[in-house]
Amino acid sequence: RCLLLDPRSIYSPFCSIVDPMRVGLRSLTSNSAPTRVNYGHRCSNAYSTCCATKPEVQPVETPSSDMLVDSFGRFHNYLRISLTERCNLRCQYCMPAEGVELTPKAELLSHDEIIRIANLFVTSGVDKIRLTGGEPTVRKDLEDICLHLSGLKGLKTIAMTTNGIVLSKKLPRLKECGLSALNISLDTLIPAKFEFMTRRKGHSKVMESIDTAIQLGYDPVKINCVIMRGMNDDEICDFVELTRHKPINVRFIEFMPFDGNVWNVKKLVPYAEILDKVRQHFKGVERLQDHPSDTAKNFKIDGHVGTISFITSMTEHFCAGCNRLRLLADGNFKVCLFGPSEVSLREPIHSGLDDAGLKEIISAAVKRKKAKHAGMFDIAKTANRPMIHIGG
């Protein structure tokens, strides 16, 4: 496949990255055609971006390596690793009904490559890794990956985001291998609606996985719930009820635009509206103290064992305290979920580049990270990958 970019933006023979400051803003306002560069093999997808450049940045933690510090002083100690692009569901906000083109297995990161790259990040200061997909539990060597990650000195947390379809059977072993935190995606408590939203059956299996996680001592068990108007916004209070007697943290997520998910602002239910509905039905809703790098606004409710949170990416961004980086299943490195620029780490590995060279590529990409993402309407118009390619 080919990559559309301005060749002047390539700063390394091993990586394919667009510098949005030189290319992105110009490409959004210019009618001139972009230059086509053919590498003769599969290249990373990189596009222009229109992110702003001056935030009220809140530097967090104490950096142990300059590699993970961006030009605004943000230290990135959290790496999300997508293990696969494959999934056993077809959620409407994640991909189009016809599915998406998947990267050939031979072009995905191998087990050893994942561990090598993860080790580079951990030795540079990353202390939390989240495994995502696609659906990470469909990868056959998931347990072995967890086991090897758990042996990395300095790594404090191995988390995973999963749809829970096959989790119940795998979770006891995963916990033994070092999986210490868990997010389970669930957007409806109604089985028939679940089948409609995910285009697959399996609601009871997800509920079983939530119960299994609680029994195994995961506290809290986080439930990710994307709220869409006219789809599941009538279930908000039902989800809150899940927190009454169980150590569950329900995370209400604003509907976000990605390629193929037919995002529309009319489907977006803002955080303030969700919170207002919760407060109308429950007494004693109190804001908790959030960590500066939290993506969530966290609340507790009187008499409830669990908590609720809100991921407000669209209406109240949290870029100033961002500490997250993403490694995609195909080996591309992404510094912002909504920023379309990517740089390949797999290609330089296959070219024989040593760890020092990889760190230089990573550091340069981190330094190019923008102050904040564009507004939701600009994001909706900016070319990016489907969520299943990026990693949830």
pLDDT at residue 37, rounded to an integer: 30
- Report which residue type is found at 20: P
Report d(CA 171, CA 179) in Å as an integer.
Answer: 9
Q: Give tens-digit pLDDT for 369-380.
A: 988 755 554 554
Q: With 0-12 CB in 10 A as exposed, 13-18 as middle and 19+ as buried, what is 147?
A: middle
Structure confidence at residue 38 (pLDDT): 31
**CB-based contacts of 96, cutoff 8 Å, min separation 6:** 260, 261, 262, 386
Beta bridge partners of 75: 69
Tokens standing for residue 317: 């961004």
178 in Cβ contact with 147 (< 8 Å): yes
Name the residue with tokens 């990353």.
Answer: 126
227 Cβ partners below 8 Å, 6+ apart? 187, 233, 236, 252, 253, 254, 255, 269, 274
Most confident range (mean pLDDT) of 21-35, 183-197, 325-339 is 183-197
What is the maximum span of the chain, computed from C-alpha positions, in angstroms?
61
pTM: 0.80
Would you state the pLDDT for residue 392? Answer: 55
Whether 108 and 84 have beta carbons less than 8 Å apart is answered as yes
Q: What percent of the chain has pLDDT over 70?
A: 75
Average pLDDT taken over every residue of the chain: 81
3-state secondary structure of 63: coil
pLDDT at 293: 82
pLDDT at 101 over 90: no
Orientation of helix 167-176 relative to helix 142-150, angle to 10°: 30
Q: Domains of the chain (ranges plus CATH)?
A: 78-389 (3.20.20.70)
Exposed / middle / buried, residue 110 (Cβ in 10 Å: 0-12, 13-18, 19+): middle
Cβ-in-10-Å burial (0-12, 13-18, 19+) of 111 comes to middle
Q: Tokens 């494959």, residue?
A: 86
Secondary structure of residue 205 in the 3-state scheme: helix
Report pLDDT digits (tens) over 232-252: 999 999 999 999 999 999 999
